[in-house]
Structure 1
Amino acid sequence: MTLLHTTRVRRRRLGVATAAAGLLAALLTAGPAAAVPDPGDSPVRQDITARQAADTRAAIAAGDIPDVDEVVHSDNVEHLATIPKDALKGTNSDLAFQGRYAYAGNYDGFRIFDIGDPASPRTVAQVLCPGSQNDVSVSGDLLFLSTDSSRSDDSCNSTTQPATEKSSWEGVKIFDISDKRSPRYVASVETACGSHTHTLVPERRNVYVYVSSYSPNAAFPDCQPPHDGISVIKVPRAAPERARVAAFPVLFPGDGPDGGGNPGGPANPGVAKTTGCHDITVLPAKDLAAGACMGDGILFDIRNPERPRVIDRVQDNVNFAFWHSATFNQRADKVVFTDELGGGGAATCNAEVGPDRGADGVYDIVGRGAKRKLVFRSYFKIPRHQADTENCVAHNGSLIPVPGRDIMVQAWYQGGVSVWEFTDSRRPREIAYFERGPLSADTLRGGGSWSAYYYNGHVYSNDIAKGLDVLRIDDRRTDWAKRLRMDELNVQTQPDYFRDFFPFRG
C-alpha cells in the first residue's frame, strides 16, 4: 500500500452535497470579446444554500479541504510555475505541444508559450479569435481551432449570432504557425453542428480532422437531426486553403429521428441522448479509435480514415451520464472513458454522488480484429471529496509513458490534477495529485484544471480560471518517462510512444 502525503493533513470528511476582415488573425491589441459558453463543457456560477456554504467553511476550518485558493499536493509532485491569464480573459480549454512550444486554447482565442524552460514559460503570442471551445491541435506548420458557438461569420472579428440563421457559421479554423510570433489565419471549414472538439489523423500529404459535434435541432439550418456521425475534413498540407469536408460517416445507424444511438431519457433516465460524439481519440499505429459519444462508448477501425468502421459499442445506463473522452493504454488492450456528469459545472466529487458517478470507466479490449469487444472492469474517481462550491468531475488527461505500466495524469476541474495507475484494470489507484482550494467558500464558481497532460518530463495543466500550471512528478513508477522526448503531442492523437520516439533521443 502506497501512502500519499500532503503539505497539510486533510481528513477529507466533507460529505454534505446537493447534488479576416476576411481571413486575418487579430493579434491582441485590446481586450477580447466574450465567447458564447457551450453547454457541454462550460462551468457555471450559481448560488448554493446557506447550509452548503457553512459546511464548506467548516470543512476548511477543520482542515478537511484546502482553504480558498490554497495549493496542496502529494509529496511526489512539485509545483514549478503558474502563468496567469493575460489578454485572453475567457475560459482556458485544451492544450497541444510541439517542440519547445505549448499551445493553449481559450474561449477568446489561443496562446503560444515557449516551454523550453518548463519552470519559466514565456508567452510568444496571443491570438484573439472568439468562439467556444477553441479546442486546439497542431501538425507541422498548421494549427486547428474548433468553433462551437454560432458566429456571424468565420472571421476572428465575428460576433455571436443565432444558429437559427442560415448565414451563421461554426466549424474549424486553420492557422499557419510557421512564425510562432505571428500566426496567420489561412482557411476555415464549416461543419454540421459546429466543432465541439476535433482529432487529427495525420498523413504525409494530408491531415484528416475528425470533428465531434452534437445537439442538432430542426430549427438550425446547418445542424439538422439525425446527427448520428462525425464530419471528416481533409486538409492538404501544401494547400490548406483547399481543406474541405470529405465525408460524414454514420456511426449510429438507425431508423429513428435521432439515428440509432442511446435514446437517453425517459428510457434511460439521467443519460444523455446520443446525437453525435463529444470527443474521439485515435491510435494511428494500431488503426484504432475510441469515441466518447454522449450516451455511448465506441471502438472503431480507422484503416481508411475517411470511412471509419465501428467494431464495438457499449453503454452504461446506471452510472455514466455523458461519455466525454477516451484514452488508450500503450498496448491498446484497454480504454479509459470519462463521464462528465453535470457538464463540468456541478459539484460531483462528494460523498452523496459517490465513487462511481462522474468517474472514469476502465474497459479491457478483448478478442481480435473485427471481433474485439469492450469489457467493463472498474471505475476510478479521485479519493478526495471536494466542497459543494467546487465544480469537479472527470475530464481531460493523457498517458504517462512507462514500459509495463498503465499510468495517466488527468484533470478534474476544481478536483485538481490526479496521477493514477490502472495496470490492474480491476483495481485502479491514485499515486499523486495537485489541487487548489475552492475559488469561493460561498458560491459555486467554475474553475480548475480543464486539461492535464504529460509532455517531455512535465505535466502541463490549463486551469480555467488561474492560467497555465507546470508540475513535475518525482516517483519511481513514472521516472522512466522522463527519458522520452517527443517532437509533437496532440493527446487525442495518441502516439505509439515506444515506436515513434526513441527513449534516449536528444
Structure 2
Amino acid sequence: MTSTHHTRVRRRRLGVAAAAAGLLATLLAAGPAAATPDPGDAQRSPGARIGADAAPGAPGQDEIVHSRNIKHLANIPSTNPDGIETDIAFQSGYAYAGSYDGFTIYDIRNPKAPKTVTQVLCPGGQNDISVAGDLLFLSTDSSRSDDSCNSVSQPATEKSSWEGIKIFDISDKKNPKYIKSVETACGSHTHSLVPDGRDIYLYVASYSPNETFPDCKPPHDGISVVKVPKKAPTKAAVVAFPVLFPDGGNPGAPTNPGVSKTTGCHDITVLPSKNLAAGACMGDGILFDISRPEQPRVIDRVQDNTNFAFWHSATFNERANKVVFTDELGGGVGATCNEATGPTRGADGIYDITGRGDARKLVFRSYFKIPRHQADTENCVAHNGSLIPVGGGRDIMVQAWYQGGLSVWDFTDSARPKEIAFFERGPVDPSALTLGGSWSAYYYNGHIYSNDIVKGLDVLRIDDWRTDSAKRVRLDRLNVQTQPDYRW
C-alpha cells in the first residue's frame, strides 16, 4: 500500500507493482540453470480441474494441486479483518500465527482437526512472532500512535510515534495479557530469539532509515539487541546495537543496479548449539559468531550483485556446513515465478560453509527455484521455510513461495538441488495481480503448517521415503529463526 503524510515507506509494501517491475527490468540476465522437479512425485492430483482462464496445465482460481506425496489435511480460514496472515511459531501442541491485525493461537494437538483457541487483535505490521515458555513476542514495524493494541497509524516523522517489540504473557492461552513493550530503532521487522540461561535475547532486524525520522536516522548499520530476563520480563530493554556493516554494506544502485542498499537486516537465523547466526541483510548475506549474545561478531560476508535483489532470510542445514539464503525479488508483491524472470532471480542461493573458526567462508554453489511457472497475476518469490529433520546426512527443507505455494526440496548436493514435493492453489484472482499465498511453511512434529495470507492455516502431511525419518523427531518448541539442534 502506498504511504501518505511521510509515513515510512519501507519493507514489504502491498502496492509496489510499478517499483517491482522497475527492479526486475534493471536486473541482469539469468545465470545457471534452476533445479529440476522430481518426475516421480511432482504430478498433478487426479481429476484436477483447469479453470477456463488459466494457462494450459495451470490450476484454476483457488484450485488446489499438489504432488502425490503431499496430503492436505485441514484448513482454518483466516478471520483477520485485513486478511494478511504472516509468520508462525510452535510450542507444546499449539501454533501461534501472526497477522497484520495481531495473532491467533491454534490447538494443533490433533493436526487433522486444528482448532482456534483465541484471536488477539493488536494491529501493527507485520507481527513477526516467537514464543518461549509463557512469553510471546511480536514485532511491530509500522509507525504507530503509541505502543498499545488500540494504536493507529502515525507518521514516522513524529517523535511520539512508536515501533518495536511487544511482549505477551500466554500462560492462559484463552486470555493472553500484554505486559511490556520495548521501542527499537527503526522498529522491528523481524526478531530472532537467542536463549542464554536466565535471559532471553532478541536480535531485532529493521531497516530503511531516513533523516526525517527522529527514531530511525542513518546510518542504521546494525541490529538492536533486547535482553529479556525470564523471571522479570517486564524489565526487558535494549542493551546493545552492534554494528554489522562498519563500511556501510552494499551501496546498491547505481553501483549495483537492481540490488537493495544495505541499511540494516531483514532477518536473522541463529543456531545456538553452534554459536552461529546467518543474517539476510538487504544487499548482503553474513555469517556471524553469537557466543557472546550482546556482541555478535561477523565472520564472513557475501554479495550477489548479479541475481540477488533483496537478501530476505536464511536457513542452516543440520551439520551447519551450508546456508540457504532467499532473495525476495519484488518485495513479495511481484509475479516473479514466470519465464520472463528466469530461474536464478527471486530464488534461493545455496552456500557451503568452508574452513574453521574465524576462517570460515560462505561459498556459493547453486540456485533453487520452484520449477513451475506461475501466472502473471500471482505474487510469487522465495520466502519463509524450515529444515525438515531427516538426518542421515541428507538436507531437505520446506519453503513458502506465496502464490507459488510450498515446495519441499533436497539440497544434499549443494550444486544440484531438487524439488521432491509441492502444494499450491491457483491464483486468488486470475484477472489482476493480487496479494496471497503461503507466507510461511514450516515442518513441526510430523506435519507441515502453512500460513496462507488470505486462506488461513493449512495443515499438510508429506509421505515420502526421503522425509519419513523426520516423523520420529519431536520438539516441544519451534521458533524457526532459532534453529534447533536435532542431534542426529
Q: Give the TM-score, by structure 2 length.
A: 0.90
Quote the Cα distance in structure 1 between the aligned partners of 2:8 and 2:430: 24
Residues 445 and 132 (structure 1), Cα distance of their counterparts in 2 relative to 1, 3 Å cut: same
Alignment of 1:369-388 (within 5 A): 369-388=357-376
Could you tell me which residue of structure 1 aligns to residue 31 of structure 2?
none
In the alignment, what sits opposite 1:80? 73
Aligned pairs (5 A) from 1:147-158: 147-158=140-151
Amino acid at match of 1:83: I
Question: Could you tell me how far 1:204 is from its partner in structure 2?
Answer: 2.6
Deviation of the 1:38 alpha carbon: 7.0
Report the Cα distance in structure 2 between the residues aligned to 1:363 and 1:346, rounded to whole angstroms: 25
Select which of 184, 200, 205 maps to 2:198.
205
Name which of 473, 477, 483 aligns with 2:466.
Answer: 477
Q: How many pairs does the alignment contain?
A: 452
1:311 is aligned to: 299
Alignment correspondent of 2:130? 137
Measured at CA, do residues 421 and 59 of structure 1 come closer, stay the same or move farther in structure 2, by a change above 3 Å?
Answer: farther
Displacement of 1:498 after TM fit?
Answer: 1.9
Partner of 2:107: 114
**Cα deviation code 1:431-468 (max 9, x no counterpart):** 00000000111100000000000000000000001100
2:178 is aligned, of 159, 180, 185, to 185
The secondary structure found in structure 2 opposite 1:365 is strand
Deviation string 1:315-338 (CA, Å, 9 cap, x unpaired) is 000000000000000000000000
The yes-or-no answer on 1:426 pairing with 2:415 is: yes
Distance 1:95 1:62, change over 3 A: closer
Query: What is aligned with 1:453?
Result: 442
Question: Secondary structure of 1:480's match?
Answer: helix
Q: 1:493 aligns with which of 478, 482, 486?
A: 482
Residue identity opposite 2:454 in structure 1:
A
- The amino acid that maps onto 1:294 is M
Given the alignment, which residue of 389, 398, 407 partners 1:409?
398
Partner in structure 2 of residue 249 of structure 1: 242
Distance (Å, rounded) in 2 between the aligned partners of 1:64 and 1:298? 40
Distance 1:73 1:145, change over 3 A: same
Contact 2:300/2:361 (CA < 8 Å) preserved in 1?
A: yes
TM-superposed deviation, 1:64 = 2.1
CA offsets, 1:296-346, max 9 Å, x none? 000000000000000000000000000000000000000000000000000
DSSP-derived class of the 1:443 partner = coil
Report the more deviating stretch, 282-291 or 490-499. 490-499
How far the C-alpha of 1:88 sits from its partner, in A, is 4.5
TM-score by length of 1: 0.87
Distance 1:432 1:164 in 2: 47
* Cα offset, 1:76, TM superposition: 0.1
What amino acid does structure 1 have at the position aligned with 2:398?
Answer: V
What secondary structure is seen at the aligned counterpart in 1 of 2:469? helix
Q: Are 1:462 and 2:451 counterparts? A: yes
> 2:218 maps to what in 1?
225
Amino acid at match of 1:306: E
Note if 1:65 corresponds to 2:58.
Answer: yes
Residue equivalent to 1:287: 275
CA RMSD of aligned residues (A): 1.8
**Which residue in 1 is equivalent to 2:254?**
266
Deviations 1:247-274 (A, max 9, x none): 00000002xxxxx200000000000000
Match of 1:40 among 11, 32, 35: 11
Q: Secondary structure at the match of 2:487?
A: helix
Equivalent positions of 1:18-33 (< 5 A) are: none
Are residues 1:354 and 2:325 paired? no
* 1:128 and 2:130 correspond: no
The residue identity in structure 2 corresponding to 1:485 is R
Counterpart of 1:423, as a letter, is T
SS at match of 1:370: helix
Code of the residue aligned with 2:477 in structure 1: it is E
Using the TM superposition, give the Cα deviation of residue 45 of structure 1 relative to its aligned residue in structure 2, in angstroms: 8.5
Q: Does 1:237 align with 2:237?
A: no
Which runs of 5 or more structure 2 residues have no equivalent in the other structure?
Answer: 1-6, 22-49
SS for the counterpart of 1:494 is coil
Deviation at 1:157, TM superposition (A): 0.5
- Tell me, which stretches of 5 or more residues in structure 1 are unaligned? 1-35, 50-56, 255-259, 500-506
Cα deviation, 1:468-499, whole Å, max 9, x if unaligned, reads: 00010000000000011100000000000127
Residue aligned with 1:182, SS? coil
Task: Please tell me whether the aligned partners of residues 94 and 136 of structure 1 are also in contact (alpha carbons under 8 angstroms).
Answer: yes
Of residues 433-442 and 36-45 in structure 1, the stretch that sits farther from structure 2 once superposed is 36-45
d(CA) in 1 for partners of 2:52, 2:203: 44
TM superposition shift of 1:41: 2.6
Equivalent residue, structure 1, for 2:28: none
After superposition, give the CA deviation of every residue in 1:152-186 in whole Å (9 maximum; x if it has no partner).
00000001100000000000000000111100000
CA deviation profile, 1:384-435 (whole Å, cap 9, x unmatched): 0000000000000000001111000000000000000000000000000000
Conservation of the 8 A alpha-carbon contact between 1:40 and 1:344 = no
Q: Distance in 1 between matches of 2:398 and 2:375?
A: 22
Say which is worse superposed, 78-87 or 304-313, in terms of deviation: 78-87
Match of 1:335 in 2: 323
Residue 442 (structure 1) aligned with residue 431 (structure 2): yes
Change in Cα spacing, 1:285 to 1:130, as seen in structure 2 (3 Å) is same
